[in-house]
Amino acid sequence: MWFIFVILVGVAIYFMLQALKSKGSYISRVESPLDILKKRYAKGEIDKEDFERKKKDLEQN
């Protein structure tokens, strides 16, 4: 009986640790506003003038 309890606790701890790891990796993948701006420019969503203007705005803040 104790053996099954220990296994269940171990499995619960394993899944909790995996959930915490995935949250931590999400935080590290958050992009900066400049990264987002560069992607929008690369996709063609904004032109060069908009990119330069918005880049200057970001650098001032």
Q: If pLDDT is split at 50, 70 and 90, which confidence band does 18 have?
A: confident
pTM for the whole thing?
A: 0.51
Domain ranges of the chain: 1-30, 31-61
In this predicted structure, the answer to whether residue 24 has a pLDDT above a threshold of 80 is no
Burial 28-56 (b: 16+ CB within 10 A, else e): eeeeeeeeebeeebeeeeeeeeebeebee
The arithmetic mean of pLDDT across residues 18-28, rounded, is 64
